[in-house]
Amino acid sequence: MITGKNYIGNTTTANGNKTFKTFNPQKNIENEWTFTEATSAEVNKACELATEAFKTYSKVSGAKKAEFLRAIATEIENLGEELLNVYCLESGLPAGRAGGERGRTLGQLRAFANHVEEGNWVEATIDTAQPEREPMPRVDLRKMNVSLGPVVVFGASNFPLAFSTAGGDTAAAFAAGCPVIVKSHPMHAGTGELVASAIIKAAEKTGMPNGVFSNLNSSGIEVGQELVQNPKVKAVAFTGSLKGGRALYDLAGKRDEPIPVFAEMGSINPVVILPKALENRASDIAKTYAGSITLGTGQFCTNPGLILGIKSAGLTNFVNTLAEEIVNIEPSCMLHPNIAGTYEKNKDKALSQNGIDVLGAHSENVKPNFAKQVVTTVQGKTFLENSTLHHEVFGPYSLVVQCKDEAELREITSKLEGQLTGTVISDDNEISNYVNLIHELENRVGRIIFNGVPTGVEVCASMLHGGPYPASTDSRFTAVGVDSIKRFVRPFSFQDWPNDLLPAELKNSNPLGILRTVDGKKITDKI
């Protein structure tokens, strides 16, 4: 049941007087529930409880954390149809997407459970003492990853489940041994509350400390800012716009004790179509890309917002087909009137730039909050000279840049801002003729794709979802897959520490049987 209250650990409270409602963009009406924004006192209480919980939760075994993570997945499943219904009412997304995203969320939680149960993620490294070493004896040193402390999670508007309350960031932080305080996304506060109730049930059932999780409502930026500035908070995970991510990153940097902000932000995901591919299959590529540009109403951080090619008959064929295909796709609903409004504003700004030509645009009347898709084109030189054209238009929009030659294509690629993904469409072995171009692209992105589309982010250990700034604030980490746990840990060394007092991961007997690097060798043996 949705109460509209905040979860401060195991207690629900609504002490504030600022309230708000979520919105049904399909029906263009407010939803029935009223949410109460967290007060400063509630923010502080959540942070205090999280710090208290950290004392015990950071020491909980991998097996117990796995039990907790699996229980969260089960409790989310137990929410049944109610969760999926609220998801659809608050996002305008179809039921199939709701079910799919729930599956992904459960899969992430269970993947982290397996990861911490197996235990190798602590990267235990042991250099045993060498008392006889000359000229100086060597001390015994043992290093492993330990948890950072309370983590604040800002969920994304466009993934109410998989990148939100119990999404990848929360699962990773729990797996790392960090309590989590979620700053609930105001567009899907009801979905968030239902998931929060599942997390609290799971925490109670598996004996986790009160304060291991809190969920705070807010409809403005104040609660999030207070959380980031609270001295008890030790790291932040954010998924959203460049503007929001950068503001929080700067705020965290100004604290007396600066903390890391792992912000995954917008991206235009350049797609380079090489000449032979254009010559041989321009129409097919255009059809595929019309689908990718409009998938999920273009509301994916991996949406292909920029397509690059060298002028040729093939490129003309590509833009003509893309123009035809894009208008035939039925417009769909955006997540919220604000997102739809920002799309219109950013689209108009892009369209008003000198040298921009519209290739194809859906022009018929659409229902409120539905997005009309547009593809545009520009010459390479104009693109290079106008940085506005390099910015994300979040929605079903893409720009085709027509380069005069390979040198211009390479120059554009080298001057792009950091991106989540880059895609190369190539035929035969032509890619091997573009080594320098590919090098430039690799330098600008976190993931490079061959003959595919950037939309669709597989959740697995080898996925890198991040990239050079501004795609993310720290390109060394991924926000998707089990390696995302590394954002919430720090390496820690014990020197000559008594064996009995060492954590199980570093004891001589290796009771957990994990893989450790002992005196330079990777082994599971005891010492």
| Residue burial 23-52, b: 16+ Cβ < 10 Å; e: rest | bbbbeeeebebebbbbbeebbbbbbbbbbb
Helix axes 168-176, 95-118, angle to 10 degrees: 20
**Whole-number Å distance between alpha carbons of 485 and 490:** 10
Site for ligand NAP in 311-370 (CB under 6 A): none
Environment class of 254 (CB within 10 Å of its CB; exposed 0-12, middle 13-18, buried 19+): exposed
Residue selected from 83, 153, 156, 375 as contacting ligand NAP according to rule CB under 6 A: 156
In the bound complex, what is the minimum distance in angstroms from residue 476's beta carbon to ligand NAP? 15
The total of other beta-carbon atoms located within 10 Å of residue 205's CB is 14
Residue 388-407 contact track with ligand NAP, rule CB under 6 A, x = bound: ----x-x-------------
90, 264, 440, 505: the active-site residue: 264
Select from 153-161, 288-296, 353-361, 408-416 the region that touches ligand NAP (CB under 6 A).
153-161
Distance in angstroms (rounded) separating the CA atoms of residues 337 and 29: 10
What letter does residue 144 receive in the DSSP assignment? E
- CB of 448 within 8 A of CB of 463? no
- For the chain, how far is it from start to end, CA to CA, in angstroms? 53
Q: Which residue, among 443, 449, 444, has the nearest Cα to 463 in the 3D structure?
A: 449
* CB 186 to ligand NAP: min, Å: 5
Do residues 241 and 335 lie in contact, with contact meaning Cβ atoms separated by under 8 Å?
Answer: no
For ligand NAP, which stretch binds (CB under 6 A), given 106-114, 174-182, 259-267, 278-286?
259-267
- Measured distance CA(14)–CA(226) in Å, rounded: 17
Q: How far is residue 33's CA from residue 408's CA, in Å, rounded to a whole number?
A: 54
Least distance CB 174 / ligand NAP (angstroms):
19
The interface region with ligand NAP, picked from 84-92, 240-248, 354-362, 499-507 by CB under 6 A, is 240-248
Cβ proximity to ligand NAP, 240 vs 275, nearer residue:
240
265 binds ligand NAP (CB under 6 A): yes
Shortest Cβ distance from residue 268 to ligand NAP (Å)?
9
Asked if 154 interacts with ligand NAP (CB under 6 A), we say yes
Marked catalytic residue, from 47, 301, 333, 403: 301
153 or 319: whose CB is closer to ligand NAP? 153
Beta strands in 258-323 (DSSP E): 261-264, 270-273, 306-310
Work out how close the CB of 267 gets to ligand NAP at its nearest, in angstroms, rounded to a whole number.
Answer: 6
- With 0-12 CB in 10 A as exposed, 13-18 as middle and 19+ as buried, what is 406? middle
Q: Which stretch binds ligand NAP (CB under 6 A): 155-163, 206-214, 430-438, 515-523?
A: 155-163
User: What value, to the nearest 5°, has the Cα angle with vertex 222 and ends 216 and 225?
Assistant: 85
The one among 34, 61, 85, 225 contacting ligand NAP by CB under 6 A: 225
Least distance from ligand NAP to the Cβ atom of residue 179, Å:
19
Q: Which stretch binds ligand NAP (CB under 6 A): 234-242, 371-379, 496-504, 508-516?
A: 234-242
What are the residue ranges of helices labelled H in 58-155? 62-78, 80-91, 95-118
Q: Which of 247, 252, 326, 424 binds ligand NAP (CB under 6 A)?
A: 247
Using rule CB under 6 A, residue 157 touches ligand NAP: yes
Site string for ligand NAP, 438-467 (x = CB under 6 A): ---------------------------x--
For residues 129, 132, 138, 139, the Cα torsion angle rounded to the nearest 10 degrees is 50
Q: Is there a catalytic annotation at residue 440?
A: no
Active site includes 178?
no
| Interface with ligand NAP, residue 264, by CB under 6 A | yes
Footprint on residues 467-506 left by ligand NAP (CB under 6 A): 479
Minimum Å gap between C-beta 302 and ligand NAP is 8
Choice from 219, 269, 297, 423 touching ligand NAP (CB under 6 A): 219
Determine, following the binding rule CB under 6 A, whether residue 301 of this chain makes contact with ligand NAP.
yes
Asked whether the beta carbons of 199 and 75 are under 8 A apart, the reply is yes
Closest to ligand NAP by CB, 75 or 264 = 264
- Contact between 220 and ligand NAP by CB under 6 A: the answer reads yes
Q: Which residue has the tokens 């409790």?
A: 75
Question: In terms of CB distance, is 486 or 490 closer to ligand NAP?
Answer: 486
Kindly state whether residue 226 participates in binding ligand NAP, applying the rule CB under 6 A: no
248 is an interface residue for ligand NAP by CB under 6 A: yes
DSSP state of 446: E
Whole-number minimum distance, CB 248 to ligand NAP, in Å? Answer: 6
Q: Is residue 239 at the binding interface for ligand NAP, with CB under 6 A as the rule?
A: yes
Q: Which two tokens stand for residue 42?
A: 């509630």
Peptide bond into 135 cis (omega under 30): yes
Nearest to 225 by CA among 121, 154, 300: 154
**Where in the sequence numbering do the catalytic residues fall?**
264, 301
Residues that bind ligand NAP (CB under 6 A): 154, 156-158, 163, 183, 185-186, 218-221, 224-225, 239-241, 244, 247-248, 264-266, 301, 392, 394, 420, 465, 479
